[in-house]
Amino acid sequence: MATITAILMLFGRHHIHAQEPAKVDIASAYQLAYKNYPLIQQAHLIAKTAEYSVANAAKGYLPTLSINGQATYQSTVTDFPLNNPLFTLPNYSKDQYKIYGEINQVIYDGGRISNQKKAAKANETVQQQNLKIELYTLYDRINQLFFGAVIIDEQLKINGLLKSDIQNGIDKTKALVANGLAYRSNVDELTAQLLQAEQSQTELNATKKAYLGMLSLLINVPLDENSVLEKPAAPIISEEINRPEILFYEAQKKIDDLQEQLLKIQLRPRLGFFVQGGYARPGLNPLSNDFSWYYIGGLRLNWDLGGLYTLQNQKKILALNKETLDIQKETFLFNTKISQKQQRASIEKYAELFKKDDAIIALLESVKKAAAAQLENGVLSAHDYINEVNAENKARQTRILHEIKLLQEQYNYQSTTGNIQTLNNQ
């Protein structure tokens, strides 16, 4: 159902008609790439492993049954030197046998089982965050492919305007040639420019096909040259760093905390109830050398204080582990902030450049219109007209490059800081 929902989001208002192109937005591309990537299946395995580990730890409260047996031969046995005619004392065999079953029930374990359950959950968190870190490169790849294809889409539109302007020049020049006011070579020059524009269109279409092919593999949705990539709105920039690495380091420290608790728990006594029943020679009766059934039951206390010898050193090791994690976290944040500054500078650069693009285009468009009028009146050569058309076309290409690069840097910034909303909802 999640995949179906994501696909519906991907196509948005798209009606299922064979001739209508698919529309793709970047948020849906993020979601589908995340769900489609093979590594994501590992998240389910990690969760199930943790579930089984917690269930196994909880079973520590259940009674346990063990079966034991032994056969021994000893050099000496208990001997009674008295010789009383009133009663006979037993002679013990040097070969002795014993087989028994024992049931143990935990009464107090000092917190060991609870610690095991918490450790299983903490390990799951560490593995899930590590998985998210591995998957994080997907978002950079989506940005590269998506915005690369968007730029090409816009360039194709501008290329269409260029072809229209050149065709307009060809039509006007042909009229001048027909009236003897221009040379046929002027038409040829314009026609050559039109062919070059068509070549550019072919190259752009081929590049777009390659981008869409790779994007299609990532999101597992068919895309072709007719697919429309919706230009996204500018995101709300957030300075806060919410990368999965942060939770990864914190989860690792949580494991160290649990290890420290375990050191204390291991020094606590354990109390349990046991019942033992078996068949042995000799049994519990000290005056019989025969095989007999027996049972005993009671409480058993275990208190191992051997851990006191290494307790302080173990604590110091865990403290050093935490310090190492803190250093790794600080290093990651330091490098991330450097990336933020670099990307901030790029965002500001493209935003500043973009402000003047429209004014430049307006001026060059005015020059182009004047050149078109002069060409029509036979006072401007086709070569000069082409120069003005190309100048305006280059300005439009530059404007769209600045606009899309600005968007791409903004989304890259969101990826760097971990504030892609789609990711945070996974």
The model's pLDDT over 251-263, given as tens digits with 9 standing for 90+, comes to: 999 999 999 999 9
Give the model confidence (pLDDT) of 71-130 as tens digits.
999 988 877 666 666 666 677 888 999 999 999 999 999 999 999 999 999 999 999 999
**Can you give the pTM of this predicted structure?**
0.78
C-alpha–C-alpha distance, residues 76 and 349, integer Å: 96
Please enumerate, as own/partner, the contacts of 382-388 that have beta carbons within 8 Å and a separation of 24 or more. Answer: 382/169, 382/173, 382/182, 382/186, 382/187, 382/189, 382/190, 383/186, 383/189, 385/169, 385/190, 386/166, 386/169, 386/189, 386/190, 386/193, 388/364
Which pLDDT value is given to residue 14?
42
Running DSSP on this structure, what letter comes out for residue 68? E
Which pLDDT value is given to residue 367?
93
C-alpha distances out from residue 38 to 10, 150, 219, Å: 20, 26, 11
- Position 404 pLDDT exceeds 90: yes
382 band by pLDDT with thresholds 50, 70 and 90: confident
Q: Which residue has the tokens 């070059």?
A: 196
Nearest to 214 by CA among 157, 306, 138: 138
Mean pLDDT (whole number) for 197-222: 92
Residue ranges and CATH numbers for the domains of the chain are 23-60+105-417 (1.20.1600.10)
DSSP 325-387: HHHHHHHHHHHHHHHHHHHHHHHHHHHHHHHHHHHHHHHHHHHHHHHHHHHHTT-S-HHHHHH
4 band by pLDDT with thresholds 50, 70 and 90: very low
* CB-facing half-sphere around the CA of 223: CA atoms within 13 A: 27
Q: Which two tokens stand for residue 63?
A: 């009674």
- Position 368 pLDDT exceeds 60: yes
- Position 70 pLDDT exceeds 80: yes
Q: Between 192 and 11, where is the model more confident?
A: 192
Give the model confidence (pLDDT) of 245-301 as tens digits.
999 999 999 999 999 999 999 899 999 999 999 999 988 888 788 899 999 999 999
